Amino acid sequence: MAEPVDHNTVVAGRFRDRRMPLGGLEIPAPGIVHLWFLDLAQLATPLGEPAPGTVLKPRQSRSTRRFYLRLLLGAYLGLPGKDVRISRIIKGKPVLDASAHPQQLDFSSAGSGQSCLIGISSEGLLGVDLECADRETLKPRALARRYFSASEQHALAALDDAELHRAFIHTWACKEAVVKAAGLGIANQLCRFSVSVDPDQPARLLDMDDDVAANWSLAMLQPTPDYLAAVALRQPLLQLDTFRLLPPAMTQPSR
């Protein structure tokens, strides 16, 4: 049985490198989330866009992210990425088109800057979020009063400015992951549940309207020093298997 993930279990350097082409990928066992971190500028883009190492514009990042989401899903389904059919349910949550893909597979993706995070699960509602670790948030206390639950507001209000930034990013990332998993959308939904706000303690869902918090697992991790990631799964136990997708190895020209 999978053990609950510890908030310090997965840090920079613990993501296993996987190079393209991927070939067939085994669908995760129940309770296990496959988490993929992608440096979009590093990967060779398939869309006639800039060479690796250049800075992608936001629109280019979004289109490249969608391409690699389909590529990864196709590797799990045994299909070319172009044949993966994605539909949307209530509040816009993306799901596999059940009429085309009978396999039980949930997924979530998030982008920030030049990077992307993709989660794959075979059981339970899944949501992921990716945030720049040094992102400056204007008026975090005001944002907390507008969007967060009363208990989260109270906990954040007690922090000094030096502590507040880390705690706010931690809380925001966790809440984004939960609403994406539940398919709630952000508008008027972030206040309907509470998460732990201390970034030095394991991430937890504390309470939730219309659900039991114990049904959920949360994890925070750091794919690189520049990014923080959150994973939410509607399962009481969560195990992460983490990968970093790399471009194909360079081959030496034959003489």
Position 231 confidence tier, pLDDT thresholds 50, 70, 90: very high
| Domain covering 16-246, topology | Ribosomal Protein L22; Chain A (3.90.470)
Contacts of 54 (CB under 8 A, 6+ apart): 41
Q: Is 100 or 49 the better-scoring residue by pLDDT?
A: 100
Domain ranges for the chain: 16-246
| pLDDT digit string, tens, across residues 39-90 | 998 885 555 455 655 677 777 788 889 999 999 999 999 999 999 999 998 7
| pLDDT digit string, tens, across residues 119-155 | 999 999 999 999 999 887 889 999 999 999 999 999 9
Tell me the CB-side half-sphere exposure of residue 44, using CA atoms within 13 A. 7
Quickly tell me which residue has 């296990």 as its tokens: 32
pLDDT at 5: 42
State the average pLDDT over residues 20-25: 91
pLDDT at 14: 83
Contact 201, 208 (CB under 8 A): no
| pLDDT digit string, tens, across residues 162-218 | 899 999 999 999 999 999 999 887 777 899 999 999 999 999 999 999 999 999 999
As a whole-number percent, the residues of the chain with pLDDT over 70 amount to 89
Position 227 confidence tier, pLDDT thresholds 50, 70, 90: very high
pLDDT at 3 over 70: no
pLDDT at 11 over 60: no
Query: What predicted TM-score, i.e. pTM, was given to this entire model?
Result: 0.89
Highest mean pLDDT among 2-6, 46-50, 52-56, 236-240: 236-240
Q: Is 237 or 196 the better-scoring residue by pLDDT?
A: 196
pLDDT at 182: 93
Position 250 confidence tier, pLDDT thresholds 50, 70, 90: confident
pLDDT at 111: 95
The length of the chain in residues reads: 255
pLDDT at 207: 97
What DSSP letter does each residue of the chain carry, written as one string? -PPPPPTTSS-TT-SEEEESP----PPPPTTEEEEEEEETTTSPPSSS-PPTTSPPPHHHHHHHHHHHHHHHHHHHHTS-GGG--EEE-GGG-EEE-TTT--S--EEEEEEETTEEEEEEESSS-EEEEEEETT---SSHHHHHHHHS-HHHHHHHHTS-HHHHHHHHHHHHHHHHHHHHHHT--STTTGGGEEE---TTS---EEEETTS-GGG-EEEEEEEETTEEEEEEESSS--EEEEEEEEPPPP-PPP-
pLDDT at 44: 58
